[in-house]
Structure 1
Amino acid sequence: MKSITIKGSERESVGKKATKALRNAGKVPCVVYGGENHYTFSADELAFRDLVYTGAAHTVKVDLGEGKVKAIMQDIQFHPVTDKILHIDFYQLFDDKEVTMNIPVQLIGNSPGVRNGGRLLFRKRKLAIKALPDNLPDFFDIDISKLKIGDNILVESLLNDDFAILHPESTVVVQVKTQRAAIVELTDEEELEGVEGEEGATAEGTEGASEGGDALSEGSSEGESKE
Structure 2
Amino acid sequence: MTSKISVQKRETGTPHSKLTELRGQGIVPGVVYGYQTETTPVAVSEIDLIKTLRESGRNGVINLELDGKTLNVVLSDFQRDALKGSFEHVDFLAVNMSDELEVAVAVHLIGESPGEKEGGVVNQPNREVTIKVKPADIPDALEVDVANLAIGDTATVGDIRGTVSYEILDEDDFILVSVTAPRSQDELDELETPAAEDAEPEVVGGESDSEEKEA
Q: Distance in 2 between matches of 1:176 and 1:137?
A: 26
Residue 166 of structure 2 is aligned to residue 167 of structure 1: no
Deviations 1:78-131 (A, max 9, x none): 335544322111211112222121111222211110000111001222211122
Equivalent residue, structure 1, for 2:26: 26
TM-score norm. by structure 1 comes to 0.68
Residue in structure 1 matched with residue 78 of structure 2 by the alignment: 76
Structure 2: gaps of 5 or more residues: 185-215
Q: Number of residues paired by the alignment? A: 180
What is the alpha-carbon distance in structure 2 between the residues aligned to residue 144 and residue 78 of structure 1?
32
Which residue identity does 1:44 align to in structure 2? Answer: S
Change (3 A) 1:150 1:55: farther
User: Cα offset for 1:139?
Assistant: 1.9
Are 1:35 and 2:23 an aligned pair?
no
For the residue of structure 1 that corresponds to 2:4, the secondary structure is strand
Asked if the contact 2:60–2:136 (Cα under 8 Å) also holds between the matched residues in 1, the reply is: no
Identify unmatched segments of 5+ residues in structure 1.
182-227
- State the partner residue of 1:86: 88
1:109/1:55 Cα in 2 relative to 1: closer, same or farther (>3 Å)? farther
- Cα RMSD after superposing both structures: 2.7
Query: Which range is displaced more, 4-13 or 22-31?
Result: 4-13
Instruction: Give 1:57's aligned residue.
Output: 59
- Higher helix proportion (structure 1 or 2): 1
Conservation of the 8 A alpha-carbon contact between 1:55 and 1:104: no
Once the two structures are superposed, residues 29-60 of structure 1 have per-residue CA deviations (whole angstroms, 9 ceiling, x without a partner) of: 111111232233211112222528x9853332
| Correspondence for 2:182 among 174, 179, 185 | 179
Deviation of 1:3 (Å) = 4.3
Residue 6 of structure 1: aligned partner = 5
Measured in 2, the distance between the counterparts of 1:122 and 1:80 equals 24
Moved over 4 A (4+): none
Counterparts of 1:88-127 in structure 2, within 5 Å, are: 88-127=90-129
**Alpha-carbon separation, structure 2, partners of 1:65 and 1:114:** 54
In the aligned structure 2, how far is the partner of 1:14 from the partner of 1:110? 52
Q: 1:176, CA displacement in angstroms?
A: 0.5
TM-score, structure 2 normalization = 0.72
1:136 alignment partner in structure 2: 138
